[in-house]
Amino acid sequence: MALFYILSALALISLGLNLWQWLAARRFPLHQPVPAADGLPPVTLLKPLKGCDEHTEACLRSWLAQEYPAPIQALFGVKDADDPVCEVVRRLIKEFPQHDIRLVICPAAPALNPKVSTLIQLEPLIGRATSVDQDNSERAVESALPERAVVISDADVQVPPGYLAGAMTILQREGVGLVNSFYRLANPVNRAMWIEAVAVNCDFWSQVCQSNSLRPMKFALGAAMGLRAETLRQVGGFAALADYLADDNRLGLLVHRAGLRVELTNAVVDCFSGPMTLRQVWDHQLRWARTIRVCEPVPFFFSVLTNALVWSVLWVLVAIPFGIGWQLMTATGGLVAYAAVRLATAWNNGAKLTQGRLSLWKIAQVLDLRDGLGFLWWLFAFLGNRIVWRGRRYRILKEGRLQPLDR
């Protein structure tokens, strides 16, 4: 009987946490435009690239097509000069001659994190324009502009019109050191990807809102991050992120430790992914769970309390031996209440993030599976600290530092 009451309390706590998460997301001014401030700084866009697909060119173009009142420099870094994405960049250089766009070959590997390796090699070119001498040789010259912002984003990120001006306006506010954005998985094409879409589009962003209602944000979301070049130098540059898996989390933490705020834009960026199998979704979410566990061990441990499916089902199972009575009726009612609230809040969160582009029927088809797998991801996160990332095996150490296991 004691176990029955304990599980009933946990189920009710879970239900309450889900409602709190939904309310925190409801209060966030998602998609509301931010009027552009005067005197916005010049911006350098840093884009580590590897390979391309049908979405790559549109994603990159969305950044270059921004209406922005100050100069834009775009540095596209790629490891191999024969990478097919190089041709995409060359087309964009011709399409946007008004911007200082450079394709930079970054063959070195100064970091365990390949993305950060590219960023380290792009960093010396921030704020330097390409000039042509009389002998037609290119040289880098210092920009005469006194202040500059740096925006880091992945190749698969597409931004809405006005994004850059809104983000830089927030960055100009007093005490803000880094600005980042919520993102949505824009192209779920199969059942496995819909599990990922529910995790990202319904749950993750609302969990961030819930966390931010308790304490200042001290991490960053890596789809799109902007900070002043001066702040980047202050926290040690990209070399300070060299051997960390979650470079975005680390950068946000360093900015927070420097006494500056990490803020979110009101805009949402789109992320595109190639087709994913259930195994790929499992590996990605487990890698994510183990990374969060080592970076934020206490919040991650208690995050299982938000999984109302687990506690509601256990409540019913414990009530079954009592036979058909008030215990089973109460527990079953709790499970039904959970299912209704969970579906309603997940759909509402997803609809708000995607502006109505997330199907209620698709969510209903995978929601229980997503929550069941979510509990397994949480559990397996404590059963080891090894991950597979980009075909290589690593051990995740304290604060997300990588230790390679492949020799």
Separation between Cα atoms, residue 178 and residue 200, nearest integer Å: 22
Residue 180 pLDDT greater than 60, yes or no:
yes
Residue 217 pLDDT greater than 50, yes or no:
yes
Confidence of residue 177 (pLDDT cuts 50, 70, 90): very high
The secondary structure of the chain in percent helix, strand, coil, rounded to multiples of 5, reads 50, 20, 30
Which pLDDT belongs to residue 222? 94
Angle formed by the axes of helices 308-319 and 360-381, nearest 10°:
80
Higher per-residue pLDDT: 320 or 36: 36
As beta bridge partners, residue 386 has: 395
Separation between Cα atoms, residue 331 and residue 312, nearest integer Å: 7
Residue 181 pLDDT greater than 90, yes or no:
yes
User: Are residues 334 and 312 in contact, defined by beta-carbon separation less than 8 angstroms?
Assistant: yes
Which pLDDT belongs to residue 129? 60
Q: Which of 112, 94, 113, 115 is nearest to 49 (CA)?
A: 115
Largest Cα–Cα distance in the chain?
Answer: 92
Higher per-residue pLDDT: 144 or 217: 217
Which pLDDT belongs to residue 407? 62
> Region 103-115: what's the mean pLDDT?
95
| DSSP secondary structure of 282-299 | HHHHHHHHHHHHHHSHHH
Higher per-residue pLDDT: 137 or 176: 176
Q: Of 78-87, 200-209, 231-240, 354-363, which gets the smallest average pLDDT?
A: 354-363
236: left (phi over 0), alpha (psi -120 to 50) or beta: left
Per-residue pLDDT reduced to its tens digit, 286-320: 999 999 999 999 999 999 999 988 999 998 999 88
Separation between Cα atoms, residue 310 and residue 316, nearest integer Å: 10
* H and E: helices and strands count for the chain: 14, 13
Which pLDDT belongs to residue 137? 43
Q: Of 91-105, 263-277, 278-292, 312-326, which gets the smallest average pLDDT?
A: 312-326
> Region 333-338: what's the mean pLDDT?
89
As beta bridge partners, residue 270 has: 158, 184
Higher per-residue pLDDT: 129 or 371: 371
> Region 328-350: what's the mean pLDDT?
92
Separation between Cα atoms, residue 232 and residue 252, nearest integer Å: 11
Cβ count within 10 A of residue 201:
28
Residue 386 pLDDT greater than 60, yes or no:
yes
Confidence of residue 326 (pLDDT cuts 50, 70, 90): confident
Confidence of residue 136 (pLDDT cuts 50, 70, 90): very low
User: Are residues 118 and 79 in contact, defined by beta-carbon separation less than 8 angstroms?
Assistant: yes
Q: What is the pTM of this model?
A: 0.91
Sheet with 386-389: list strands edge to edge.
Answer: 386-389, 392-396, 402-404
Which pLDDT belongs to residue 135? 41
- How far CA 33 is from CA of 37, 130, 160, in Å, comes to 12, 34, 11
Residue 183 pLDDT greater than 70, yes or no:
yes
Confidence of residue 389 (pLDDT cuts 50, 70, 90): confident
Higher per-residue pLDDT: 59 or 324: 59
Separation between Cα atoms, residue 118 and residue 239, nearest integer Å: 11
Separation between Cα atoms, residue 231 and residue 235, nearest integer Å: 6
Structure tokens at 316: 């019913």
Confidence of residue 130 (pLDDT cuts 50, 70, 90): low
Higher per-residue pLDDT: 2 or 100: 100
> Region 26-42: what's the mean pLDDT?
95
Q: Structural domains in the chain?
A: 2-26+296-403 (no CATH), 32-128+143-275 (3.90.550.10)
Q: What mean pLDDT value characterizes the chain?
A: 92
Higher per-residue pLDDT: 128 or 93: 93
Structure tokens at 309: 């499916």
Helix (H) or strand (E) holding 1: none
Q: Is the dihedral of CA 5, 7, 8, 12 positive or negative?
A: positive
